[in-house]
Chains A and B, each alone.
Chain A
Amino acid sequence: AQTVTQSQPEMSVQEAETVTLSCTYDTSENNYYLFWYKQPPSRQMILVIRQEAYKQQNATENRFSVNFQKAAKSFSLKISDSQLGDTAMYFCAFMKLRGRNTGKLIFGQGTTLQVKP
């Protein structure tokens, strides 16, 4: 079974600085997707970024980028120029693309990030 682990329950960063959130996962699959979702306080969860495992290039969305290390099964999220609006809980998620449980997201425990002014 696949598992996703976020070992940092809470983190903080000063506004305008850079922060990296860690995520590791366990799978025997070769093809899968990885995601970071963001859940702001009292607001709906939204997708931040997606990485396809077959792509070597790290995904980037504006100030958000990932460091995908397939062999190490590591998938970290880097937030550059942190803004107060980045304060949220961040979830790492895994999805396999074939076989049983295809299409289901498996989430990590979450990391609460606070951006300080």
Chain B
Amino acid sequence: DVKVTQSSRYLVKRTGEKVFLECVQDMDHENMFWYRQDPGLGLRLIYFSYDVKMKEKGDIPEGYSVSREKKERFSLILESASTNQTSMYLCASSLLSLDGKQFFGPGTRLTVL
């Protein structure tokens, strides 16, 4: 089975801090994704990557950046955390770009005070 892990289940940070969320997948998947999940809004795509060192903006990239130096690892960076970035962050990976079968991590619930 594909395993997607995220570095923290819960995280509390202060406004203005730089925050790193890490995601690792163990099945050699090409594609990786970062979403945020908010009540009533579903999942919204922040950034995605189809290859190492490659990234593309999703629907809500403002205030975020990403890094993919190795195929198995995709990091989400909040350069200067703000309270409106308090949310659940989900990482996902997929083998093929066009089959939609994504495997999700357990999520990181981030609170910015």
Contacts and interface: CB of A to CB of B under 8 A. Distances in A.
Interface residues of A, number: 23
Interface of B, helix, strand, loop or mixed by DSSP: loop
Contact of A104 (B45, B104, B107): B45
A44 B98 CA distance: 22
Contacts of A91: 42-43
Interface stretch (A13-21, A58-66, A75-83, A95-103): A95-103
B100 A109 contact: no
- Which of under 10, 10 to 19, 20 to 34, or 35 or more describes the interface residues of B? 20 to 34
Given A104-B48, A109-B42, A33 B106 contact: no
Q: State the majority secondary structure of interface residues on A.
A: loop
Contacts of A33: 99-100
Contacts of B99: 33, 50
B100 A50 contact: yes
Given A43-B106, A44-B104, A44-B105, A102 B98 contact: yes
Interface string A6-41: 100100000000000000000000000101000000
Interface in B55-113: 58, 90, 92, 97-102, 104-107
A84 interface: no
Contacts of A110: 42
Contact of B41 (A35, A97, A102, A109): A109
18 contacts: A9-B40, A43-B106, A44-B4, A44-B107, A45-B92, A47-B101, A50-B99, A91-B43, A93-B100, A95-B98, A95-B100, A102-B98, A103-B97, A103-B98, A104-B45, A107-B42, A109-B41, A109-B42
Interface of B: 4, 31, 40-45, 48, 58, 90, 92, 97-102, 104-107
